[in-house]
Amino acid sequence: MSSVRDLTSNISVIAGRVNGNRVGGSTRMLHGPTGDLVAHVSLCGIQDVDAAVDAAADAQHAWRRTPAPRRGEVLSRAAVLLAQRRAEFATTITLEEGKTLREAGAEVDRAIDYLSFFGAEGWRLAGQEFANLEPNLRITSRREPLGVVGLITPWNFPLAIPAWKIGPALVAGNAVILKPALEAPGPSVLLAELLESAGLPPGVLNVLVGDGGTIGAAVVAHPGIHAISFTGSTEVGRRIAAVCGQRMARVQLELGGSNATVVLDDADPDSAADLIARSAFGLTGQACTATSRVYCTPGIASSLVEALVARARSLRIGDGTDPSADVGPLVSTAAHARVADIVDTAVREGAVRHGRGAAAPPFFEPTVLTSLPPDAHILQTEVFGPVVAVVEVPSLEEAIACVNASRYGLVASILTNSLSAAQTFTDEVRAGTVKVNETTTGNQPNVPFGGLKDSSNAAFKEQGSVALDFYTVSKSVYVRW
């Protein structure tokens, strides 16, 4: 049993890890979305940030000299251990963040895939040799780690997002300071312990548990941290970029989304409703890739709305630990208030609300909004709840214009049987990921992921082999003999 969980009770005791040791000071209670006490959290202080950076810098010297395939083996072994502890990790995610156990299990599976993929990348790290005109000169380039990197991750995927950042950072030879969201820190601490069990040397991965305003800010500003990878809100991302820019630190930002699905007349309304419901209501809508906008052409609008509303009303709302629940709670009552305000604003603007009826906080009923004005607030904001707005448009061209009118550009999809329409859509839509006859949610570990506009700084993609670009620097080497 992991040291994260107190053996004398059913309540977790969560603390940070620095150089393989538990750290923390003052404690606070961590309540799950439904108000149950699920953990006591020992909060790190500023002194722990300095200690973590020192430990990481010391450990990184030996870690960077470890052959890349050996570094990858640690990740591969961790993937095997994580599969063996799937139920434990899934339960921790559900208790802290609120996902249904089915969704939490799927998140664990994604983390296993990320660790496995980046473990194999240890065998593929390579440089390049350049042609030149001189016979006694050899010119090559190689990829080297940055040193110590800081990772700041959100609560909505408390295991998968740390895994997809930790994987490339470690296999590239960096040491890591991970600052998980305080709403759900347990999976990150468990993951760090698991990686140490898989052979990761102490100090190579350190976890700081604390709030973003103090611990997160200290990580971003620390001169000993050479890069920051952040997933979270656009507003916080802008502040992080400004701080990193001042001290010339590399920064990677994966931010918000207001993702759209376009449905053309030739699509099947029932199949379209199924895909949209999964994208909009799955994970309680608490995913940056969730569908919150639907643009449909006139021939399918009525039947699509009817089918989508039927699916919204059929989903069972319940506590994440209830195996029969389709939709779990929002992460907090504050999140519920925010989503409720977005929906109420839409109704005041003229929207018609469809659903099963109000649910008690923090639960929020799957909701479909229709008859929205073109300038409705919900069409320009990240909802982060099980709510989707459906807008009728006259043509594919108008649908593309509406998709592109958002300040976000993370994911967009089109549902159609027309190859020509699909090609036009993929060519013209401004988004980091474009899908045809697919949900906006979901991505594979070997495929680059990242957005445009306010969804990302677009400098470095995450996931796939290109994820290593952020965590490495190219060194050119000239050798004459």
- CA max distance for the chain: 79
d(CA 118, CA 121): 5
| Residues paired with residue 462 on neighbouring β-strands, in sequence order | 449
DSSP codes, 9-40: SSSEEEEEEETTEEE--SEEEEE-TTS-EEEE
- Among residues 44, 244, 288, 296, the one annotated as catalytic is 288
The answer to whether the beta carbons of residues 202 and 19 sit under 8 Å apart is yes
Residue 362's φ and ψ, nearest 5 degrees, are: -90, 15
List the Cα angle 8/9/12 in 5-degree steps: 110
Q: How far apart are CA 256 and CA 356, in angstroms?
A: 28
Q: How many CB atoms within 10 Å of residue 12?
A: 22
Classify the C-alpha dihedral 87-88-91-96 as positive or negative: negative
Residue 405 burial (10 A CB sphere; 0-12, 13-18, 19+): middle
Which residue intervals of 66-210 are DSSP H helices? 68-84, 86-97, 101-121, 160-171, 186-197
Instruction: For tokens 């500023």, name the residue.
Output: 46
How open is the CA angle 442-205-238, to the nearest 5 degrees?
A: 60
* CB neighbourhood size of 436 (10 A): 15
3-state DSSP assignment of residue 292: strand
Tokens found for residue 444: 């594979």
Structure token digits, residue 307: 């089918």
Cα separation, 229 vs 420, in Å, equals 38
Residue among 451, 479, 464 nearest 130 (CA): 479
288: annotated active-site residue: yes
189: how many CB neighbours lie within 10 A of its CB? 25
Q: Give the residue numbers annotated as catalytic, written as ranges.
A: 288
